Amino acid sequence: MNEHSGRRRARSLRMSSLAMLLPLALSSTAQTPTLSAVPATAVTAVAEASPAAAKAWRAAPAPYQSPTKPLPYRTALKPAQIRPVAPGFDVAAFEALANDLTVGERVPGLAMAIVQDGRIVSARGYGVTDVDHPQPINGHTVFRLASLSKAFASTMTGLLVNDGVLRWDSKVVDYVPRFQLSDPTATREVTVADVLSHRTGLRWHNAFDRDIENNADYYTVSQKLATAPLGCKPGACYEYQNVAFSLVGDVVFAATGSFYDQAVDRRIFKPLGMNDASIGLAGIEHSASWAKPHVRARRGWTSLAPKPTYYRLAPAAGVNASASDMAEWLLAQLGHRPDVLPAPLLATLHAPLITTPGEMHAGWRGTRVDSASYALAWRVLDYSGQQVVFHAGAVEGYRGLIALVPGRDFGVAILWNSTSHLPSALLPTVLDTALGLPPQQWLNTDMGKQLLLAQTHGRPLPAAMHVADDDGRDDDDEPGASAGRSVAAPR
């Protein structure tokens, strides 16, 4: 077979796969459909149908690269396309691992939620809320979500798009007249989808986060966006933002007349039964049980009062939730609450809009992730051939991770109340087992080693496969993680 016919055959394979996945007539927005993007579900479908086709797919130019618009007619995976988790997935083993991470105060406290096949299989807490005044963490103990909050913003926006109140390509300046970038043309071009996918064109990563950390108010800082240099036209490049992202809260208010926190509570928290969830500093402090943030001190962990700073950016980092809440959120994002979040909306939220190759760096992402993109407030990873919809979050004293595997109807969320990076290794440990991947030693604890031995039937792994987590950073691009470095420096 010559090179030309090989490419033609691979292209034909891709198009036939797409023909099976594209819906005939579904619409969740008023936006005119285009074929400029490819449903994210197609990548998984092609990979499972033929490894050779998957290789050709990845080698081809990505059809969803910027500039793109979210498609209004995406559909979720069909039941026949969803596979079960790998045999031997033992929830109790991961609950034991989570508990082990709190032994000896490796981390003060932790909560984890796991859902599978439309069921909550675990939603529990471990450790204590505060090392100085310890109370046990349970499934209803509230943690600060940091950047895991962003998906609530895109989901809230998507519900308004479904209502016909907004469009993904609505111009931000039409709803927020005070919004300005350094170029008037760019100001007029920025869309709601651009804000939610960090494609505003700003050149600076986390622009003006330093001001927020220095206790400035959001409205004052958002005016400074007019002074920041642009690196591209809106929609054409990616730079992670918190201040600019939070413009979506102003859009929601302008479009509905409801404050952002009220809208999210009414349209998401209450309908989903997220009964512990809230937005803002007062929300967490008035919770019946909540985990205080912790940082390292000379004698170990010390607890702090949570800072109000990033709570001022409610869409970017303002949500608080428990393991019980996160379990309901995982189920909803996996399509099990179509009464609240319709399937076409979810597929649109999770579909990649722009590539982010910088996400494939050290740690488990460097080992497992073959490609990375950003969608509408979600990261989309090719995790050793499986599509994983992911996000991380961090503010001082809190960290969190969330991952959805739509092709396995599986999801996991991990929250903890300290600056430790050790629990980050729990996520790939869970994912590898659920997906049936060859085990690696991500978690360098006694319990982690015991699990590894059980998975390998006592046979030692080759030295090259031991990738122990040594508290290295693998999720440092999230809110609050900019503390201690210049966020206003061009990059």
pLDDT in tens, 119-160: 999 999 999 999 999 999 999 999 999 999 999 999 999 999
Q: Is 182 part of a structural domain of the chain?
A: no
Q: What single DSSP character describes residue 77?
A: P
pLDDT greater than 90 at residue 390: yes
pLDDT of 36 reads: 29
Query: Do 133 and 12 fall within a single domain?
Result: no
- Give pLDDT tens digits for 339-350: 999 999 999 999
pLDDT of residue 455: 59
Both 41 and 134 in a single domain? no
**DSSP H helical segments within 133-203, as ranges?**
150-163, 172-175, 184-189, 192-196
Give the containing element (helix H, strand E) for 110: strand 109-116
Q: 284: which 2 tokens?
A: 């967490």
State whether 52 and 120 are in the same domain.
no
Tell me the percentage of the chain whose pLDDT exceeds 90.
69
- Residue 262 identity (one-letter amino acid): Q
Asked if residue 19 has pLDDT above 70, the reply is no
Residue 449, domain member (yes or no)? yes
The amino acid present at 70, given as its one-letter code, is P
Element (H, E) at 417: none
Residues 34, 127, single domain; the answer is no
Among candidate residues 402, 395, 367, the one with its CA nearest the CA of residue 151: 402
Q: What is the CATH number of the domain that holds 324?
A: 3.40.710.10
Look at residue 174 in the predicted model and tell me its pLDDT. Answer: 98
Q: Which of 131, 7, 37, 123 is nearest to 354 (CA)?
A: 37
Same domain for 133 and 7: no
Give Cα separations from 190 to 166, 170, 177, 198, 318 (angstroms): 14, 8, 12, 11, 23
With a cut of 70, say whether residue 68 has pLDDT above it. no
Kindly state whether residues 29 and 127 are assigned to the same domain.
no
Residues 118 and 7 in one domain: no
pLDDT beyond 60 at 60: no
Instruction: Measure the CA angle with vertex 15, ends 10 and 17; round to 5°.
Output: 95
Q: Which amino acid type is present at position 220?
A: T
pLDDT at 441: 82
In a domain, 457, yes or no: yes
Residues of the domain holding 292: 91-147+277-301+318-465
The pTM score is 0.82
The string of pLDDT tens digits covering residues 237-254 is 999 999 999 999 999 999
62 & 99 share domain: no
Strand partners, 394: 399
**In a shared domain, residues 8 and 141:** no
Residue 78 lies in a domain: no
Please choose, from the candidates 247, 201, 193, 199, the residue with its C-alpha nearest in 3D space to the C-alpha of residue 376. 193
Instruction: Say whether both 291 and 390 belong to one domain.
Output: yes
Domain annotation covers residue 231: no
Name the β-bridge partners of 114: 122, 412
N-terminal to C-terminal alpha carbon distance within the chain: 45
How many domains does one find in the chain?
Answer: 2
173, part of any domain: no
Q: Are residues 423 and 328 in the same domain?
A: yes
Interacting residues of 184 by C-beta distance below 8 A, sequence separation 6+: none
Q: Looking at residue 484, what is its pLDDT?
A: 30
Confidence of residue 81 (pLDDT cuts 50, 70, 90): confident
**122 neighbors 94 (Cβ within 8 angstroms):** yes
Query: How many C-beta neighbours within 10 Å does residue 370 have?
Result: 14
> Residue 192 phi/psi, 5° resolution?
-60, -45
Token pair of 327 as six digits: 């379990």
448 is a domain residue: yes
Bond into 67 cis (ω within 30):
yes
297 forms beta bridges with: 300
In this structure, the answer to whether residues 413 and 350 fall within a common structural domain is yes
Q: Is residue 109 part of a domain?
A: yes
